[in-house]
Amino acid sequence: MTDLGFRNAWLHPLSALLTLIALCAGLGMGQVAAAATIHAVGVENQYANVISQIGGEYVSVTAIQSNPGTDPHAFEASPAVARELAAAQLVVRNGVGYDGWVRKILRANQNVQRRVIVVQDLLHLPENTSNPHLWYKPETMPAVAQAVAASLTELDPAHAATFAANVRRFDASLKPWYQAIASFKARFGGTPVAVTEPVADYLLEAAGCDIKTPWKLQAAIMNGTDPAPQDVSAQNQFLQRHQVRVFVYNQQVTNSLTASFLSRAQAAKIPVVGVYETMPAGYRYQSWMLAEVNALRNAVEHGTSTTVLK
């Protein structure tokens, strides 16, 4: 778990205690409680990052899934995770089957004051949506930011203006990413690409790429099932015959099959772009998405591989 807010809150416990005593004496306990930060949880760290940007100093945010070196689909909640969610005043989760375990925990720990944002619902998507990697959709995070601000305003109406201003700032900060997508599409629209699974498919589609990899192969790799031999053969031919210009490789979920595709791409000198399901360390959501588009452009324009974001 990654605490995105108030990391240094316990560095000076005596000072914090004295401050609290002073506040209690001057304001009364009811006013102290009203000034407390909101405890929020972003199940996936990219959502936690957006909560932090919108809530600022008025939220303390925890991310449950924050390790880009693990498979989010195989995540199992610990008792500590359950306690973290049970105590949260605001929870943001992805939905569409990606983190269904959260729903079970929250149902077992009912709290009428808790706000829960399900990104699937914000985008009006059915439960059987085939690609759950919603954060790669350009329209997703503005909707999340608006919903987060609305929930925070309900929990802390005194700072509604701050939350609204932070949403405007967040939306403006997405413009370089949108411009990079539009620029790529205008110049390189129709670029044929191969992928291991549909992690970045929404972004690739927004950029006008032609995803050649059969959907059944992508879904099989994503779900950990055996792909059809003919789909594997088709993917190998795309790579060996240079029928694609870029190979988009999920860094977080690898096996012998995806490793074989990677080897074929490298042997054929097809540039590789690594993508992630969990936001890598050192990035905000905006800089992460922009880095992925820049890596895609460098691959097409210069033949440069970016297997790992640094």
Tokens 């605001």, residue located: 90
The confidence score (pLDDT) of residue 269 equals 97
230-249 per-position pLDDT tens digit: 999 999 999 999 999 999 99
- CA quadruple 273, 276, 277, 279: dihedral, nearest 10: -140
pLDDT band at residue 67 under the 50/70/90 scheme: confident
Report the C-alpha gap between 52 and 58 in whole angstroms: 9
Q: Is the pLDDT of residue 24 over 70?
A: no
The yes-or-no verdict on residue 30 having pLDDT over 60 is no
- Alpha-carbon gap, residue 60 to 186, rounded angstroms: 41
pLDDT digits (tens, 9 = 90+) for 215-232: 999 999 999 999 999 999
Burial 188-222, CB ≥16 within 10 A → b, else e: beebebbbbbbbbbbbbbbbbbebbbbeebbbbbb
Pairing of strands 38-44, 59-65: parallel
Mean of pLDDT over the chain: 89
CA 94 distance to own-chain centroid: 9
Torsion angle, CA of 124/207/50/104, rounded to 10 degrees? 40
Is the pTM value of this prediction over 0.85? yes
Which pLDDT score, from 0 to 100, does residue 201 have?
98
pLDDT reported for residue 77:
80
Q: Which two tokens stand for residue 297?
A: 């452009």
What would the pLDDT profile of 87-141 be if each residue is shown by its tens digit?
999 999 999 999 999 999 999 999 999 999 999 999 999 999 999 999 999 999 9
Binning pLDDT at 50, 70 and 90, where does residue 36 land?
A: low
**Per-residue confidence at 13, pLDDT binned at 50, 70, 90?**
very low
In eight-state DSSP terms, residue 191 is -
Helices (H), the chain: 13-27, 29-35, 45-55, 79-87, 100-108, 119-122, 140-155, 160-173, 175-188, 201-206, 215-223, 229-240, 256-267, 285-302
The pLDDT of residue 70? 73
pLDDT at 1: 40
Residue 206 above 80 pLDDT? yes
Confidence bin at 20 (pLDDT 50/70/90): very low
pLDDT band for position 168 (cuts 50, 70, 90): very high
Does the pLDDT at position 19 exceed 90? no
Banded model confidence at residue 33, pLDDT cuts 50, 70, 90: very low
What average pLDDT does the segment 56-64 reach? 97
Mean pLDDT of 50-62: 98
d(CA 276, CA 252): 6
